[in-house]
A and B are shown apart, each in its own frame.
Chain A
Amino acid sequence: MDNFINEPIDTSSLPRFEEVKLNPLKPAYYKVMLFNIAVRYLIIGIAGGCAFYFIEDITRYWYIALLLFVIALVFTLFISRISFKNKGYVFRTHDVIYRSGAIAISTVIVPYNRVQHVALHEGWLSRRLGLARVEIFTAGGDSSDVKIPGLDKEHAESIKQLLMGKVLNIQEQHEE
């Protein structure tokens, strides 16, 4: 017990998460985002088109609907561009940081010793582009899970291994 020391912590010299430089996602991931937007708007467009074609009462308002549709599409594209630029991640020694959002920018930080499990997800288009998403789950519920998309497949794989290693390591320490 003699060598037990309990110095006060200098809170101002703690590492700051906000000063770490984040890694951007792979540019190819923007294609995935665009593709998803295209699919969504195509479905809305076809459904709307059918509605305006078959329901005669509203047919004469088609130009208003088209205008709204185009405005919404342009706005979504604009937002998606900002959102892509804002997305970033970094793995620190003790935690993972993920930033995202366009109108509201939010940063989630998950310490490794609270990670429950890690998963790798590949979408249909992502696989074709050689991308993957690392998903990090905690016990804090859905919205506390971190999902980092737009990583190189191999990179994602190694991140997953790294995280699993860390998680197992921590669990073993606890068992002892």
Chain B
Amino acid sequence: MKSDFSSPQRQSLVGVVVMFGDTLQSTLRSLWPFLLVWAFRINQMNRLYVVTVIGAALILTAVIAYLKFYNFTFFLDEENEEFVIRKGILNKSRIAIPLDKIQQVNINQSLIQKFIGVHSLEVDTAGSSKKEVTIKAITHDLALSLKERLLDSEKKNSENDEVAASRNTNKAYPFISISFASLLKTGITSNYARSFALLFAFVITVYQNIEDYFEGEGYENDPLDEYVNGEVLFKFAAFIAIAIIVLTLLVNLSRTILKYFGYTITLQNKSLLLSYGLLNTKNTIIRPEKVQIVAVGRNYFQKKMDIQDVRISQASNNDDAKEQQKEAIEIPGCSEVEKNELLTFLLGQVPEKGEGLKPNIRKIILNTVRFIIIPLALYFVFAIWFYNELFEYIIFLPLYLAFIISMIYFGYRNSRLYSTKDFIIKQSGAWDVDNEFLAPHKIQAVRLTQYFWQKKANLGAIKLYTAGGNLTFNVADYSRLKELANYWLYNVETTDKNWM
């Protein structure tokens, strides 16, 4: 099916509903402090008045939504090879994107879009960090053919390219699909660290509230003491702990399923097409040449169940490391075989590890200072001189220490930097062990750092910058790091492979 995009057209008419939803949402979001105040006073106000105001606001929103819809047009300017969008009610704007600047076209579907049967289409360009253009309501067929047309021009521009030749075979082949069972396994085995932190915070809050309650009620001698003996209290605590564990597991599980339900990966035009999500369906493309770092992560349980997460960082315009992390595409619950297929596709081969570089034992000392000595010193200083109440929390100290010490120890034990002929592999993590794979020609810059107290011990750190995130290795043999840096620089400077 070939649709005509050469003349300006509007979105699907039902798109007004999506516009309405979006406008309403953004209005509510910007006005929520006022709304909250009104909500508290609602009883004191005139019913009629309230209903009129809400009604008027809804009608106004609907009108704005319709005008937004009416003024939003898009078309493909074949002559200038541009994709043009016009929008705006009072401030009109015209956005023209040269077709060869289009990096990616994503088709997504949110819950509201699912109800009315439309999709949204995002055009990602090489210009800025924001997704510049989003068409919010478009039928699936139209979205697909528009996407094809938008990405088509690339083929024209690089016709002599070998890649382009194979692009002409526009068929999609099923590659990998993540089964529901794998998602279940991932759900119950991931995010333990975060769950633990939540648990910890919850227990402290509950503890504090109970204390406050008894103090507030003014009981000098705890009246419950007669009923609550050690055993009952212990049982109660155990019950609460188990309940929280079950709850966090359930939350993790449902999150994973909601986010990744029906994860399918298909192969088309030498790129991977990903599609996933239960309520909000997401579609993205991964092109191997854009991939910078591939990370494979799993913990002890996941190892036993033969599942692992694959995270793919692509070249992005975003400078912020945290944003880059967020942008990374995650493929959960891959089996060993699937992981190897993915790695082969993305990196050309399954990287082998050789002999790894270990961090120095001083890394343990550094982390002990950072996560135990400094926090504890702060805690005691505050507790002794400022808030004596803080001493009530001292019973949580062993828990904190046990957690941190095991994190530091296992983190140290798992930390390795491997350098093979074609890859740099960094292994890290205490419970969730990650392996990050990076091909040397993706390196943008190398930074070596040494603190003055590390000079005598010949220790230092290395940081490798790529367009999709950085890779750091701390407190290791500095001469060896320098040697590696020289080798990787040699690789970058002699390669004819481009980083993107």
Residues of A within 8 A of B (CB): 9, 11-12, 14-18, 94-95, 101, 103-114, 138-144, 146, 173-174
- Sorted nearest first, the 3 A-B pairs with minimum C-beta distance are A140-B465, A140-B444, A144-B465
Point out the residues of chain B lying under 8 angstroms from A104, CB to CB: 449-452
A138 touches which one: B445, B482, B485, B487 (CB < 8 A)? B445
Partner of A114 from the list B443, B448, B482 (CB cut-off 8 Å) is: B443
Q: B452, B467, B483: which contacts A11 (Cβ < 8 A)?
A: B483
Asked whether A114 and B445 contact (CB < 8 A) given A16-B482, A95-B489, the answer is yes
Q: Which of B319, B466, B489 contacts A17 (CB 8 A)?
A: B489
Chain B residues whose C-beta falls within 8 Å of the C-beta of A146 in the assembled complex: 445
Using a CB–CB cutoff of 8 Å, the interface residues on chain B facing chain A are: 315, 319-321, 324, 443-452, 465-467, 470, 482-483, 485-487, 489-490, 492-493, 496, 498-500
Cβ of A174 and Cβ of B450 under 8 Å apart?
Answer: no
State whether B447 touches A9 (Cβ < 8 A).
Answer: no
A105 to B492, CA, bound (A): 24
B453 CB → nearest A CB, Å: 9
Min distance, Cβ B24 to any Cβ of chain A, angstroms: 37
Contacts of B315 in A (CB 8 A): 139
- Cα A146 to Cα B482 in complex, Å, equals 19
Question: Within the assembled complex, what's the spacing in Å between the Cα atoms of A15 and B500?
Answer: 27
Whether A103 pairs with B451 at a CB distance below 8 angstroms is yes
Given A94-B493, A113-B493, A141-B319: A107 in contact with B447 (beta carbons within 8 A): yes
Select B486's contact among A16, A140, A144, beta carbons within 8 Å. Answer: A16
Given the known inter-chain contacts A103-B451, A141-B319, please indicate yes or no for A11 contacting B487, CB distance below 8 A: yes
The answer to whether B492 touches A113, judged by C-beta atoms less than 8 angstroms apart, is yes
17 A-B contact pairs sorted by A residue (CB < 8 Å): A11-B487, A14-B487, A17-B482, A17-B486, A18-B482, A108-B446, A109-B445, A109-B485, A109-B489, A110-B444, A113-B493, A139-B444, A139-B467, A141-B320, A141-B470, A144-B444, A173-B496
Contact of A108 among B320, B447, B486, B498 (CB under 8 A): B447
Would you call the interface of chain A mostly helix, strand, loop, or mixed?
mixed
Chain B residues positioned under 8 Å from A138 (CB to CB): 444-445, 465
Could you tell me if B465 and A106 are in contact, using CB atoms closer than 8 angstroms? no
- How far apart are the CA atoms of A11 and B451 in the complex, in Å? 27
Q: Which residues of A contact B444 (CB under 8 A)?
A: 110, 114, 138-140, 144
Residues in B whose Cβ lies below 8 Å from that of A174: 496, 498
How far apart are the CA atoms of A173 and B496 in the complex, in Å?
A: 9
The answer to whether B487 and A114 have CB atoms under 8 Å apart is: no
Residue in contact with B492 in the complex, picked from A107, A108, A111, A141, CB distance below 8 Å: A111
B500: A residues at CB distance < 8 A: 139
- Given the complex, which residues of B lie within 8 Å of A112, measured CB to CB? 493
Q: Look across to chain B and name the residue whose beta carbon is closest to the beta carbon of A139.
A: B467
Chain A residues positioned under 8 Å from B467 (CB to CB): 139-141
How far apart sit A108 and B449, CA to CA, in the bound complex (Å)?
Answer: 9
**Which A residues are CB-close (under 8 A) to B452?**
103-105
With CB as the reference atom, state the residue of chain B lying closest to A102. Answer: B452
Closest to B493 in A: A94
Whose C-beta in chain A lies nearest to the C-beta of B492? A111
Complex contact A107–B448 (CB within 8 A): yes
Least distance between A19 CB and chain B CB atoms (Å): 10
* Pairwise interchain contact B445-A17, C-beta atoms closer than 8 A: no
Q: Are B486 and A14 neighbours in the complex by a CB distance under 8 Å?
A: yes
Q: Evaluate contact between B485 and A106: CB separation under 8 angstroms.
A: no
Report the minimum CB–CB distance from B366 to chain A (whole Å).
13
Are B492 and A114 closer than 8 Å at their CB atoms? yes
Q: Closest B-chain residue to A171, C-beta based?
A: B498
Residues of A within 8 A of B490 (CB): 9, 14-15
Question: Which of B319, B445, B499 sits near A110, CB closer than 8 Å?
Answer: B445
The CA-CA distance from A112 to B483 in the complex, in Å, is 20
Instruction: Assess whether A108 is in contact with B483, with CB atoms less than 8 Å apart.
Output: no
Chain A: minimal CB distance from B476 (Å): 15
Nearest CB in chain A to that of B421: its residue: A9
Complex alpha-carbon distance, A142 and B470, angstroms: 11
